[in-house]
Amino acid sequence: MIREVAWRLFASEYNDANLETEGTGERPPSYVVTPLGAKVNRVFVVGVITDVENVGTDGQPMWRARVSDPTGTFHVYAGQYQPEAASALSKLKPPVFGAIVGKSRIYSPQPGTTYTSIRPEVIKSVDESVRDYWILEACRSLQKRLDAMAEAQKMDPPTKEGLVKVGVKEAIADGIVQAVNHYGKVDLSRYLAMLAEGLRYLLPEYREPIAPGEPTVDTPRPIKQEPSREADESEGKVLEIIAALDADGKGAPWEGILETATTRGVSKDSLEESINALLDKGLIYEPILGRMKKI
């Protein structure tokens, strides 16, 4: 029994997989085959563990961790049969850089829906340099598969022998042929973009400057036609008032808001405007008619 290699691959490629195959032998290993032909029984992942939660019960805990890399998120599940990994997970304080060695898993609750996950063998918190090195390795591995898949797409049909002849390693060639048979002709540009994204992630010249304290959401803020500071100001005031008047937790009464707003120099018109804007932004809501509550 030769030990299965630990694949370095990005979450986005792994999560695209919906093919499971079995090896041979007495206790045949199972593999998750990705659209690029990575035939994965074991993975090695380094990313940011963003949250850990017990999705089981107190008596039978099942720890779920989300691990994000530059392209997506891995889901890691550890229960009673992975006692060491479960105990390591339960003690982590996210966010933290974490290295995970584990077995590939695929779960299909109904035809057409599949979820990939990792059943961990080893979990360890690491530093950023280990994570950066992992990204580089994942990029190299992805590049190899991209090159091999590009060769395969020139063949009709691609065969293991044909791929080995053009210099593709046998272990990779096998996965590629299985992938082509199952996924058909995959769009390589998507994975090329993923590769470039992974590489740029490592390079400071491509890093977007992020001001401290700013939320790091990708979606740009909606640009208002009238970027009025006044409106922002009154919204801020109204938000404060609503919070302050919400004494019993059921929300601030409309009359009280109007009264306090007037004393603080906010007209009824601009109050109504502000409340509408705050409702739109999802910063307040109306739990019962006539009362406003801060979210």
CB-hemisphere CA count at 13 Å for 121? 11
Does 25 bind another protein (CB under 8 A)? Our answer is no
CA distance 220 to 209: 15
Give the C-alpha separation, 200 to 71, whole Å.
12
Phi and psi at 189, nearest 5°, equal: -65, -35
* Residue span binding another protein (CB under 8 A) among the ranges 54-62, 119-127, 155-163, 282-290: 119-127
CB 291 within 8 A of CB 249: no
User: Of 59, 112, 157, 204, which lies in the binding site for another protein, with binding defined by CB under 8 A?
Assistant: 204
**Residue 289 CB neighbour total at 10 angstroms:** 6
* Tokens at 77, concatenated: 């599940």
122 binds another protein (CB under 8 A): yes
- Total residues contacting another protein by CB under 8 A comes to 37
Under rule CB under 8 A, residue 165 binds another protein = no
Q: Is 99 in the site for another protein (CB under 8 A)?
A: yes
Which of the ranges 12-20, 59-67, 117-125, 273-281 carries the binding residues for another protein, by CB under 8 A?
A: 117-125
**Alpha-carbon distance 243 to 251, whole Å?**
8
96 part of the interface to another protein, by CB under 8 A: no
Q: Classify residue 269 by burial, with Cβ atoms within 10 Å: 0-12, 13-18, 19+.
A: exposed
Piece of the chain touching another protein by CB under 8 A; list 131-139, 151-159, 221-229, 240-248: 131-139
Range in contact with another protein (rule: CB under 8 A) among 139-147, 180-188, 212-220, 223-231: 139-147
Interface ranges with another protein (CB under 8 A) = 1-8, 44, 46, 99, 101, 121-122, 124, 126, 129-130, 132-133, 135-137, 139-141, 143, 169, 171, 192, 195-196, 199-200, 202-204
